[in-house]
Structure 1
Amino acid sequence: MAESDEDRMRALEARIAAAKSKAEPERKHMEEHYSQAQLAWRMVIELVAGMAIGFGIGYGLDWAFGTTPWLMIVFILLGFIAGVKTMIRSAKEVQQAAEKRAGTETQDGD
């Protein structure tokens, strides 16, 4: 009348598999949210890095030539422009990846 250990083990494995299959979609949503936050930080860092590099170059050239604020201002603006261009390139890259994923998902759904 008592169940054997093998039967209890199979039942336990089935319950574990059922619990894992229920948790799968929730994990996917968390990964997607994490990737969006990661993308936002990446873009912010790209913009700030461009401006910081521009500041460093401009400050160094101003110090070398004695043209105090002018080259620093010019290179900060150039760094800002470079940072924005890099952000746009990153956004296009992510958009193309999303379109590619959406295309494969619709093909899988057919």
Structure 2
Amino acid sequence: MADDPHREKLRALEERIDALKGAQAPAPAKEEHYSLAQHAWRMVIELVAGLGIGFGIGVGLDAVFGTKPYLLVLFTLLGFAAGVKTMIRTAQELQEERIQAAAAATDEEETHRGD
């Protein structure tokens, strides 16, 4: 009989702790939404920067050599290719981060199940 009050108190404490943990959990959907938008803008900026740099180099070389618009077109296309390559590299980095996060979450879940 002496253990019953302690068990009840312990159970009540565990319920309060679980309730507080649930209340403090962040909303992952909103964070994910903003995170995806941030990455999308990063990729757009990389593409536009590649185009802009290629365009600038093409205009400059056309002015120096008098070959308008051949170098402009050539370097704009090269800038586009460089921007796409950079976007692909960024997408691969993001995919690797997601795979690592999923693996970590799986490992943590398995650790909690073992307890």
- TM (norm. structure 2) is 0.75
Structure 2 match to 1:71? 71
| 1:45 and 2:67 correspond | no
**CA–CA distance in 1 between the matches of 2:84 and 2:107?**
35
Structure 2 match to 1:24? 25
**CA–CA distance in 2 between the matches of 1:24 and 1:62?**
58
Structure 2 match to 1:34? 34
Structure 2 match to 1:56? 56
CA deviations on 1:69-108 (whole Å, 9 max, x unpaired) are: 0000000000000000000000000000000000000001
Structure 2 match to 1:89? 89
Percent identical pairs in the alignment equals 57
Determine helix, strand or coil for the equivalent of 1:91. helix
**CA–CA distance in 1 between the matches of 2:89 and 2:83?**
10
One-letter amino acid of the structure 1 residue matched with residue 66 of structure 2:
G
List structure 1 segments (4+ residues) > 4 angstroms apart after TM superposition: none
- TM (norm. structure 1) is 0.79
Determine helix, strand or coil for the equivalent of 1:67. coil
**CA–CA distance in 1 between the matches of 2:56 and 2:46?**
15
How many angstroms does 1:32 deviate by? 1.1
Aligned residue pair count: 93
How many angstroms does 1:23 deviate by? 5.4
**CA–CA distance in 1 between the matches of 2:102 and 2:71?**
46
**CA–CA distance in 2 between the matches of 1:23 and 1:80?**
45
Structure 1 match to 2:105? 105
CA deviations on 1:37-95 (whole Å, 9 max, x unpaired) are: 00000000000000000000000000011001000000000000000000000000000
